[in-house]
Structure 1
Amino acid sequence: MSNKRVRMAMVGGGEGAFIGAVHRIAARLDGHIDLVAGAFSSDPARCLTTGAQLGLSPERCYPDYQSLLQKEAQLPADIRADFIAIVTPNHLHFPVAKMAIEQGFHVLSDKPATLSLREAKELEAVLSQHSSLYGLTHTYTGYPMIKEAKHRVATGQLGEIRKVVVEYSQGWLSQATDEQGKQAKWRLDSSKSGISCCMGDIGVHAANLAEYVSGLAITELCADLNHVLPGRALDDDGTVLLRFNNAAKGVLMASQIAVGEENNLRLRIYGDKASLDWSQMEPNSLWLRPHNTAATLLRAGVGELCDATMKALRTPAGHPEGYLEAFANIYSNFAAQITAFKAGDTATNEAFDVPGIHDALRGMAFITNAVEASTHDTKWHPFKMDL
């Protein structure tokens, strides 16, 4: 194992966990990261089994995250993990991240960052007292053509932004029988997922993508969240009207009961000169539609694309690059940030194109504000960061 590679330990992601395997694939795709340790399950035997399957030695497979962080911190600097990947249900994101930072580790966490906005603000305070780096896997920002869309907006090709429409529709919770699955059970349990299911799981991705590409910030919202299936305590569907800091308007739709939908994430941004349209179901394509002029289909790897887009691509044009590659771009960028940090470079998350604590706070504020606004008849509510 090369010492030049960044070393990762993982909390969560044991046998049967969907997202843990995705994180591991993303981490190793570009060869910059080695998985060296883990606390993969609350069941020590299952943790050992997972570690063995991944080729780890038993002494680096820990029975709980506390043991992992304490014992890894005692190892020599050239052996111990550099960062902790957190792939647990939401209620563990904050305690694991907090302890990891206090033990001197960098952290890359699944989203949402914490169980509540209060925890997110406490996490920000912990980070301010330590030198650890913090990243958040808002995966969809990793798509090459999303980076191209961001560039086109930032360079004024759309003109003044007037409207943003973002939709994330799924159907995997559309039936009562769907609640029996492992992934569904914890997401519908407020003690593990927080105050929201749908908005906390996918609505927050949509809000993050809208702000990332448009360069705007949500300032007000009007929310209508629903519990479509009887007996559910948390939302499984919702629509949120948005106002942005340049007076643009927006619509965010998120649903997990849209029968027949897979992971239908779509973003449309309308300016006074042109509009952009991107869909995750066709991620290598980005439509640019100017006013009264023929639309242009921009394709990944074809023609003149910005540096950020080209950096995010790995294959020649016509070879589909999708979710795993977008995920890997987050990991690769975070590894580069850690490597630079070791060399004395303290550049920001934005410089390395890594979602960070700012995105964590905005995400938790979106979830909190949307849930709160949905309980009132008042139409517009300020987007508060201090609830």
Structure 2
Amino acid sequence: MPIAGSTEDRGRRIRLGMVGGGNDAFIGAVHRIASRVDDKYELLAGALSATPEKSQASGAALGLPRVYDDFKQMAVREARRKDGIEAVSIVTPNHVHFAAAREFLKRGIHVICDKPLTSTLADAKKLVKAAEASGALFILTHNYTGYPMVRQARAMVQEGELGKIRVIQVEYPQDWLTIEQDFKQANWRTDPAQSGAGGSTGDIGTHAFNLACFVSGLEVESLAADLQAFVPGRRVDDNAHVMLRFAGGARGMLWSSQVAPGNENALRIRVYGEKGGLEWAQEDPNYLWHTPFGEPKRLLTRNGAGAGAAAARASRIPPGHPEGYLEAFATIYSEAAAAILAARDGKPTPDGIIYPSVRDGLKGVQFVSACVKSAKRNAAWVPLDH
């Protein structure tokens, strides 16, 4: 069944709150749209900015019934209400994720959090413990795992169509930080106090890392990273070349860059096994190339011939009509909704539901930490801190 779900589910909207994501925040609007696409959430409350004045102004502009000055006030008061929120979206800069998520988790409120999980490895480990102790669900919005043809690629690897995986190449180049920028989205991403120790590695490298593991089904055991801050005075990396060693013997390379002119959001993955290869590009997301060894390259399309059930259940419209970034984001929200509704009813999460978890978030922060450590040692091989 497509991800949009049933009429019954649509009549049981999840009461949602939001931390961060005020009027001037790109990602807040993305999360709000994603939560509405399949009509499974109702946004009722928010602490939308770092100052009470901005939070109240953003809440009024969005028409929210309840607006709070800060996330702790919101968590306390919503937990006391019979009609309080069941889940919260956290869409703040990285350094706020830990404190905000912890406040809601300890009150049993499900958390949907933007990536990376936290700005430090120590906080990531604490948050894993807090999430697992709370009994609440924790969903990390690695939205690229929500694309139908990414789900198709993962299923093909799991079904053995590529054989034993040997090589994984993944890259995410952008160009928007090629020169020094002075606006909010650039400023906090290049400030280690807010972003954490990783720049491009934390912002987009974690997406590439997560995608490589998601599609291949493999864990990274160690890496060697060469990080650069090409823009003078920049305190975090804006370019990274990382070699990866996966459990089981596969090898990989990851490139993340925010100083690559001509690239907008060019996330791409190539996976090669003993029987063939797969190629997928985020800027052309409805296509997946499959090349069985010794045979012509084949094009699989979203909801087209050859695409299987994993892709179909994450699709909403017929083949040929483009589905993209917002729909992929909405897939994560809808998968989360299925799990939250099941928890509301005291039932286990339905089979087939896939969403990045708090432990996936921990792996992402471990990746960033290992990259920084490796780079300080002249790109020495270092294990991921498990």
The match for 2:5 is none
Matched, 1:33 2:35: no
TM-score (ref. length: structure 1): 0.95
Paired residues for 1:1-387 under 5 Å: 4-57=12-65, 60-76=66-82, 79-176=83-180, 179-347=181-349, 351-377=352-378, 379-385=380-386
Distance 1:210 1:161 in 2: 12
Work out whether residues 300 and 306 of structure 2, in 8 Å CA contact, stay in contact via their aligned partners in 1: no
Q: Secondary structure at the match of 1:352?
A: coil
* Runs of 4+ deviating beyond 6 Å: none
SS in 2 for 1:319: coil
Equivalent AA in structure 2 for residue 33 of structure 1: Y
- Cα distance in 1 for partners of 2:123, 2:59 equals 30
Q: 1:268 aligns to what SS in structure 2?
A: strand
Whole-angstrom distance in 2 between the partners of 1:127 and 1:19: 23
CA distance in 2, matches of 1:130, 1:63: 25
Counting aligned pairs with the same residue, the percent is 45
Kept in 1: contact 2:338–2:349 (CA 8 A): no
Deviation track 1:277-296 (CA, whole Å, cap 9, x = no partner) reads: 00011000000011111111
User: Structure 2 counterpart of 1:384, which letter?
Assistant: D
TM superposition shift of 1:343: 1.2
Structure 1 residue identity aligned to 2:117: A
RMSD: 1.3
Query: Per-residue deviation at 1:3?
Result: 6.8
Q: Structure 1 residue 384: deviation in Å?
A: 2.0
Distance 1:159 1:282 in 2: 25
Q: Decide whether aligned partners of structure 1 residues 130 and 275 sit closer, same or farther in structure 2, where only a CA change above 3 A counts.
A: same
Q: Which secondary structure does the structure 1 equivalent of 2:365 belong to?
A: helix
Q: Deviations over 1:258-314 (max 9, x none)?
A: 012100000000011110000011000000011111111000011132222111100
Is contact 2:226-2:379 (8 Å) kept? no
CA pair 62-101 structure 1, distance change in 2 beyond 3 A? same
3-state SS of the aligned residue for 2:53? helix
Which deviations, in whole Å up to 9, do the C-alpha atoms of 1:52-85 show, x marking residues without a partner? 222222xx10011111111111101xx1100110
CA deviations on 1:164-217 (whole Å, 9 max, x unpaired) are: 0000000000012xx202101001111111001110000010000000000001
SS in 1 for 2:300: strand
Distance 1:367 1:378 in 2: 13
Instruction: State the shift of 1:378 in Å.
Output: 6.0
SS in 2 for 1:38: strand
Worse overlay, 44-53 or 223-232: 44-53
Q: Unpaired segments of 5 or more residues in structure 2? A: 1-9
Provide structure 1 residue ranges, at least 5 long, that are not aligned to the other structure.
none
SS at match of 2:267: strand
Paired residue type of 1:334: A
Instruction: Output the CA distance in 1 between the equivalents of 2:378 and 2:227.
Output: 12
Q: Deviations over 1:29-62 (max 9, x none)?
A: 10011101001112223222222222222xx100
Q: Distance in 1 between matches of 2:253 and 2:246?
A: 11
Corresponding position of 2:3: none
SS state of the match for residue 15, structure 2? Answer: strand
Q: Deviations over 1:195-245 (max 9, x none)?
A: 011100000100000000000011111100001011111100010001110
Once the two structures are TM-superposed, the CA of residue 97 in structure 1 deviates from its matched residue by 0.4
Q: What's the CA shift for 1:352? A: 1.9
Larger deviation: 360-369 or 371-380? 371-380
Residue in 1 aligned with 2:4? Answer: none
Aligned length: 377
| SS of aligned partner of 1:34 | strand
- Tell me the amino acid that sits aligned with residue 375 of structure 1: K
For 1:71 and 1:340, locate their aligned partners in 2 and report how far apart those are by CA, in whole Å. 25
